[in-house]
Structure 1
Amino acid sequence: MTTQQVLVAETLRELAPQVLGSLVARNGQFDACEDAVQEALLAAATQWPRDGMPDNPRAWLLTVAGRRLTDWWRSERARRDREAAIMASELETAVVPAPDEEPPSSDDTLKLLFLCCHPALTAPSQIALTLRAVGGLTTAEIARAFLVPEASMAQRISRGKQRIKATGARFAMPPVDERAERLRAVLHVLYLIFAEGNTASSGPALLRDDLTAEAIRLVRALHGLLPDDGEVSGLLALMLLTDSHRAARTNSHGALVPLAEQDRTLWNQTAIEEGVALITHALSSSLPGPYQLQAAIAAVHAEAARPEDTDWPQIVALYRVLSHLAPNPMVTLNQAAAVAMTDGPAAGLELLEPLSKDERVARHHRLAAVRAHLLELAGDHRAARESYLEAARRTTSLPEQRYLEARAARLARLRGTR
């Protein structure tokens, strides 16, 4: 990709929510406006690298998207003649902007995030709509990111837009009494996008840099809109601190490298410093929330120059607060691994025991993997090998599968030499 193409791509992603927000604010039909903006983005991605960017890229996109929207309504008008005069008079003046129009409201991106993360939508639909409407990704790009056919992703996006339309949702900030809950939904969706990029749930690669970068970009934009929200700061800090390990998480062959074995000189110190500063400020200025606590744990790991320097008692204390504030089986899994480092593997295995009856995680590969790790620490290599193989059978990620099988094979060799 040339420098010009990179510049165009970055510009389009920055402008996509602004342009869509302007059209939806004027016309109210999210699905039609979103389709029009996508066509404008595609046109720009084709023309701008060849012809150069216009003097006012946002006005160019608004004009093209507005004309696409007008054309669409005109075709509808042919089937509904009785509405022709009303639509023509309203759209011709409202959709096509002047180059010197007022800048968009700073709330447009936030309104779009709230709309795309509407509670009536499923999580996959929320993710897909957020990446398309706010991230500016095409349907094909989103489909590639989640390893599904483009036609399937197109249907998912279409169903999501139709669901929004059916609920009568407006392009506006939610009522004050709903905003905290809706913001939690937005943060959860952005967290899920990052998590999929950080450890892909399936496929040949462990990391999906495109998704992690997009999640960080979107949360950074959200932080710019809500700089005093502790959980927004916490999520951005968590992403930066987690992503700082990226270069060390796989070897030259793409194989997974666990935290304790990573070359910490490869960690991104700039990202660590920014993440630590964000979480330090957030914890000192607001009540701690789940993302802030996870970021604080990530910061303790990131600040340890060597594995043996890790402040495990502090991590255990933070997990204890997190499990009280936001109890869920994944928190318990991580807490058990930390407790094993302070109180021994038997204490960690005791924490894991109730999870074998929890339907949310009982058959998840991570439960078997953590159990295997703790059994290995306890010296029960036969049981640990069985759990590693069980985890390998359950994961759909090839790098994780290979890592788990390699751990099992290593334990088999150790047993064979005795």
Structure 2
Amino acid sequence: MLLCILIFEQGKSLFVSCVIFAFVLLYMIDIKVELKPTGPELSFSQRLIYSPSILNLKNLSNSSIPVYASHSPTSLNDGISFHTDYQRVKGRFLSELNIPQGLRKLTGEDVLKSTPQVFDSRYKSPCWINDKHILRCLPYCFSAGIPKSATTDMNSKIVSHPDIVDGRGEHWWTRNRYNGYKNIWATERKGSVAFERYLNGFGLLANKLHIGLSDLAAHLISVDRSTSLLWDNHILDGVDGGPEYTHADVIRLVQPNAKIIAIFRNPSERLYSDYKYFKQMQHKSPDLFHKKVVNSLRIFNNCLKDHDIRKCTYTYKGDVRLHIGNYNIFVREWMRAFPRNQLHFLRTDEWKNCAVELPKIYDFLNIRVLNASELTSICNGKLKNVNTSSKKLGPMLTETRILLDDFYRPFLKDLANILEDDRYTWN
């Protein structure tokens, strides 16, 4: 540009040509330069591909969505490892550990001061005797999502096992424990009351363990069935690249040996089911759904102009819950925080064969195998929470499905890559 200013004295036409050439050169450089984040060095969970590529709604099928930098599944745990970072001591509480400030704040002092570093070894479940000499227990397993993917049916059949005591979760970790969030415990959010109320949800398990300490009773477990746990981090403080810590980090800190289960459905189908199921009093139609999808894609794309895809996923606020289908974003968080053998993933497609998939889940939970008669009795039970509005509304429009399939395709490709299973592309 300085050269153009000097040329200006030689003639206006030459100056104009120089300016045009300069802008063309800058444009070509901008295309080839990889955008870099500004500010402090990002943590593992924030190492992303920064790309100027933005989705074009007019030609979505030819667009390229920036996704996570490729990591092999074996390298996903090179972030925080609570087994190695913290030397847990029996008889002490989590609050006494040297926990990073961000994670400490997200976990909450009431949780840290109430939860021991080491649980009672007499029980399979994470239990302990509190300062009031009351047996308290956390869930052994978290069935963490994804909503509208047969989670209700799957969970109801999981807890039908005689060794599983049904408990409550009610989205406590992701929603109901935060100040300012509308919830059923709005008047009881001071001190450790909220956490105590959460633990009360698993009081039946504690009572059964307390009544009779036997080999059979000691192996009883409970499940938190909050289907928002895997993906809902919207209330966390946002930073460049998204939240520094997520609820995956919190659960790993509080219950390091937790078992995590998640079921996934084709994200395009899941979104349409989600749209039909929630807020049923509103007027709905395939045409209206299409308009909402187009607007939601526009909102997401506008976010990508200034932020990376992880940040946009966590801060998204659109007409439909588009972001829940970005499965790879959430799976990477949990694979970073937990060893792979503590995570069990399956698809709704496979769950249709309950007699095959349910024993796999029981084996994952390390509970006794049921005989054929017991399994048949459970799997032949009535399907739970079936979306009956589908027949009334009809299928989604073909053009809507094309838009959604094109949008989700790069996410699913990455998901299949990290899980080493091509079925998760839903091709």
TM (norm. structure 2) is 0.29
TM (norm. structure 1) is 0.29
| More RCO (CA 8 Å, sep 6+) | 2
More helix by share: 1
